[in-house]
Amino acid sequence: MDDAMTDDWYAVIPAGGTGSRLWPISRRNKPKFLYDILGQGRTLLQSTYDRLARRMDPDHICVVTGWRHVDEVRRQLPQLPTRNILAEPVQRDSTAAIALAAAVMAKRHGKHIVIGSFAADHVIRGMDAFDEAVEQAVVAARAGYLATIGIAASRPSTAFGYIHEGNSLADELPAASRARKVLRFVEKPDAVTAQSYLSTGEYRWNAGMFMMRVDMLFDFLRSHKPQIATAIEEIADVIVQADDGSQDAAARIDEVMARHWHGIEKIAFDYAVAEPLSLNGGVAVVPGDFGWDDVGDFNSVAALLPSANERNVKIVGNEDDVVLLDSAGDVVVPASGRTVALLGVNDMVVADTPDALLVAPRARSQEVKDMVKVLAQQGRGEVL
């Protein structure tokens, strides 16, 4: 990315989810993005920050996270200015998180800045291609589009949403020659539908990466989601006023959050902003031809790990804590400190932690979140 691209270019890392599909590794007090799940020496959050900080000043990066994670985020990202870590009292989904960061950064740096949102739990390979895609998306955002990056669909996945590409924007945006109009966003399809998407060559995975001018984002929110816009702007005003570091700064922020945050509509950015804008031709997609994975469940983790043996067993943690006999295709998490022994066990998830054990077929990895709901309904909050 050209250095000139960074002058008006800012980024937010929404880090507010609990990662319930990766329970019992991922918990409310320590979600998946705070772990080095892949054993690479950096947590998912740190890796996301590293990708952005390669070409961006730390003061241009903001993290929005839950209040209970602020101290750990500070510890993991000591380069990030403390004022750029924004705490949510409760989760209100991605629209509120992205809008809050956008409003705060705009009040500090100008309302015409471009801000991009990058999830804290993605794995990306191919930094040059990533930089190129972001650069073209920023060009499209400057021109007034909500820009997103569409990932080449390598298989008919039912775990991701899809983006239907339209006509090229090369004539309108020569500096973003690969950008195309978005015809529509499509929810996670069934297997037959996903295969039909791939056969057309017109669909890409929706990775949830969005770039936009802040003034245009808030023009849209004021028109379509006025309650969100009003609440966020009042909160952002107080946060920026508190940049002076006065003794009562934290109390002022707590007070305005108590008045407004809990009442903000809980809605994903895709539903609140991206999908409505796409219906009026206001969204552009840039192809992201780099390796991308969403670390969403045990199957996605397994796809990123080397096999521990010739039977394609994947181990998240210390391999010495796992003993296998006539077992194949399993995902094993030995996180309790004790030995995990599998005999004749195939294609299963076995996640062993000090206070909870999960055993489930790999084919049902997406349904682990349903088990978390059952545990919550039964009042077992101590393991969540």
Assigned domain for 147 exists: yes
- If asked whether residues 276 and 341 sit together in one domain, one would say no
Q: What total number of domains does the chain contain? A: 2
Where does the pLDDT of residue 139 fall: very low under 50, low under 70, confident under 90, or very high at 90 and above?
very high
The percent of residues in the chain predicted with pLDDT above 70, rounded, is 98
Where does the pLDDT of residue 65 fall: very low under 50, low under 70, confident under 90, or very high at 90 and above?
very high
Residue that finishes a domain, picked among 294, 315, 337 = 294
- If asked whether residues 280 and 344 sit together in one domain, one would say no
CATH number where 112 lies? 3.90.550.10
Assigned domain for 300 exists: no
- If asked whether residues 364 and 267 sit together in one domain, one would say no
Q: Name the token pair of 68.
A: 């209970």
Assigned domain for 333 exists: yes
Assigned domain for 299 exists: no
- If asked whether residues 77 and 177 sit together in one domain, one would say yes
Q: What is the pLDDT of residue 6?
A: 62
- If asked whether residues 45 and 180 sit together in one domain, one would say yes
Q: What range does the domain containing 58 cover? A: 3-294
- If asked whether residues 71 and 206 sit together in one domain, one would say yes
Instruction: Tell me: pLDDT of 12 over 60.
Output: yes
Name the nearest CA neighbour of 14 among 109, 98, 85.
98
Assigned domain for 221 exists: yes
Q: What is the pLDDT of residue 4?
A: 45
What's the rounded mean pLDDT across residues 201-223?
96
Higher pLDDT, 60 or 189: 60
What's the rounded mean pLDDT across residues 147-174?
93
Per the prediction, the chain carries an average pLDDT of: 94
Residue that finishes a domain, picked among 294, 328, 348 = 294
Assigned domain for 301 exists: no
Q: What is the pLDDT of residue 5?
A: 54
- If asked whether residues 68 and 136 sit together in one domain, one would say yes
Instruction: Tell me: pLDDT of 55 over 50.
Output: yes
What's the rounded mean pLDDT across residues 163-183?
96
115 CB-side CA count, 13 A: 30
The percent of residues in the chain predicted with pLDDT above 90, rounded, is 86
- If asked whether residues 152 and 282 sit together in one domain, one would say yes
What is the DSSP annotation of 305-374? S--SSTT--EESS-GGGEEEES-BS-EEEE-SSS-EEEES-BSEEEEE-SS-EEEEEGGGGGGHHHHHHH
- If asked whether residues 195 and 317 sit together in one domain, one would say no
Residue 338 CA to residue 70 CA, distance in Å, equals 31
- If asked whether residues 97 and 218 sit together in one domain, one would say yes
- If asked whether residues 250 and 120 sit together in one domain, one would say yes
Helix residue ranges per DSSP H, the chain: 44-53, 70-76, 93-109, 127-142, 191-200, 214-224, 226-241, 249-260, 269, 275-278, 298-304, 368-377
Residue that finishes a domain, picked among 294, 329, 351 = 294
- If asked whether residues 252 and 365 sit together in one domain, one would say no
Assigned domain for 302 exists: no
**Cβ(321)–Cβ(218) under 8 Å?**
no
Instruction: Tell me: pLDDT of 152 over 60.
Output: yes
